[in-house]
Amino acid sequence: MTSITIRIPEDVIEDLKRVAPLLGFSGYQPLMRAYIGQGLRSDLERLEEDEISALIKSLKRRGLSDEIIQEALVEATQS
């Protein structure tokens, strides 16, 4: 892990300290890491879906059939 410094309002830290044990975390820092990780994974998934949608639209504009595109998607997800 890498240490960082971040400024967070005191009331947010107090809320994190209060919520962390209720969610089964040993402290507020692990909870913060979990929140950051969840948000990052969510954004990455959304961005990847946007890229795939853009690729599909581009392939359709180039004349590839829905059937071929679907077969390629199935093949790519099974790899």
14 domain-assigned: yes
Q: How far apart are CA 52 and CA 67, in angstroms?
A: 16
Q: How far apart are CA 43 and CA 28, in angstroms?
A: 22
What is the pLDDT at residue 79?
67
| Per-residue b or e along 3-21, where b marks 16 or more CB atoms closer than 10 Å to that residue's CB | eeeeeeeeeeeeebeeebe
Domain count, the chain: 1
**pTM, entire model:** 0.65
Question: Could you list the residue range(s) of the whole structural domain that residue 72 is in?
Answer: 10-78
2 domain-assigned: no
**Could you give the 3-state DSSP secondary structure of residue 70?**
helix
Q: How far apart are CA 58 and CA 43, in angstroms?
A: 22
Q: How far apart are CA 20 and CA 38, in angstroms?
A: 15
* Span 17-73, pLDDT tens digits: 999 999 999 999 999 999 999 999 999 999 988 988 999 999 999 999 999 999 988
5 domain-assigned: no
